Amino acid sequence: MSMQKRILGNNGLEVSALGLGCMGMSFAYGPAADKKEMIALLHSAIEMGITFFDTAEVYGPFTNETLLGEALAPFRSKVVIATKFGFKANADGSGRWSELDSRPEHIRAVAEASLKRLKTDVIDLFYQHRVDPNIPIEEVAGTVQDLIKEGKVKYFGLSEAGVQTIRKAHAIQPVTALQSEYSLWWREPEKEIIPTLEELGIGFVPFSPLGRGFLTGKIDENTTFDANDFRNTVPRFTPEARKANQAMVELLENIAKHKNATPAQIALAWLLAQKPWIIPIPGTTKQHRLEENIGAVNIELTTADLNEIDVAASAIEVHGSRYSENLQKLVGR
């Protein structure tokens, strides 16, 4: 089973067709996983052909970058590491990181700190984690451009940005990738984002391509999440919404039966089939899930399959918004 490659953006950044989202190893979905086990999992991903690893300073905070720095150091020349700037610790001492900060001096400081944690001399892809309304995006793009000229960063990315922001940033420093949520149960990017990326030659990196685990078919209305699990705060994950949203899982299960695949593999194969420049980054802490996800790369969905999925999915109303109100405010700007 050989991993296919794809290109992000117009400047030739080649990565595996599927990346690995590493956030959940340290953060957001309950307690952090065992470090030795995660290093083994990361090494296993490399052996299976994954070359694209996604992290951010805010995951932990800091612990996820440190984990990747240690695990990926022996393979540094073979892998592409993406990390992010743009948050800072809240001033209230709560330990939360919901305040935005994309001032040029802050971006520079984050780059230096991330380089150390990642044990590297260059960040392959540096994303603005969320758009900061207080700092013109042209200034942000210009700062990353300076870091690229200095050899500290190779490529510039945005996350959850709106179309106008993407255009303004791209005019200053070519944007290599946009990372935003996209999956069969969150198709908002199809309206404006995907056509804009196509026009400008920007790659698309969908996070939560399995609907934060829901599209695997392993979560139902009776599932309980760890007290620290971020999904407890998500309207789409209330028991009522989970019950209503099973229709989407049933659709995937039907297609999966015909393809001798799993619902998760169909959900990923569907994303891969949308555009040749889409690179989903499903996250996992489990070896068998990693193997299952990678198997999606070899699933062929025909035009008829894709039409069938489209027709069936468009008849399903997904219940619950994808973020709580305060997080929703940070996206699409």
Using the 8-state DSSP alphabet, how is residue 320 labeled? S
- Average confidence (pLDDT) over 207-225: 96
pLDDT computed for residue 106 by the predictor: 98
Q: Is the pLDDT of residue 2 over 80?
A: no
Do the beta carbons of residue 70 and residue 119 sit within 8 Å?
yes
CA distances for 60 relative to 13, 67, 245, 258, angstroms: 27, 10, 30, 40
3-class state of residue 223 by DSSP? coil
pLDDT computed for residue 234 by the predictor: 95
pLDDT computed for residue 95 by the predictor: 86
Average pLDDT, the chain: 96
Beta strands in 132-268 (DSSP E): 153-159, 175-181, 203-207
Domain ranges within the chain, ordered by starting residue: 5-328
- Average confidence (pLDDT) over 210-238: 95
What is the rounded distance in angstroms from the CA atom of residue 242 to the CA atom of residue 222?
Answer: 9
pLDDT in tens, 45-65: 999 999 999 999 999 999 999
How many Å is the Cα radius of gyration of the chain? Answer: 19
pLDDT computed for residue 318 by the predictor: 94
Global pTM value: 0.97
Q: Is the pLDDT of residue 67 over 70?
A: yes
Q: What is the fold of 5-328?
A: TIM Barrel (3.20.20)
Q: Is the pLDDT of residue 295 over 70?
A: yes
Q: Is the pLDDT of residue 1 over 80?
A: no
What is the rounded distance in angstroms from the CA atom of residue 321 to the CA atom of residue 323?
Answer: 6
Q: Is the pLDDT of residue 329 over 80?
A: yes
* Catalytic residue positions, numbered: 59
Question: Tokens for 164?
Answer: 């106008």
Q: HSE of 144 in the Cβ direction (CA atoms, 13 Å)?
A: 28
Using the 8-state DSSP alphabet, how is residue 1 labeled? -
Contacts of 307 (CB under 8 A, 6+ apart): none
Using the 8-state DSSP alphabet, how is residue 229 labeled? B
Of the chain, the percentage scoring pLDDT greater than 90 comes to 96
- Average confidence (pLDDT) over 140-153: 98
State in Å, rounded, how far the first CA of the chain is from the last one.
40
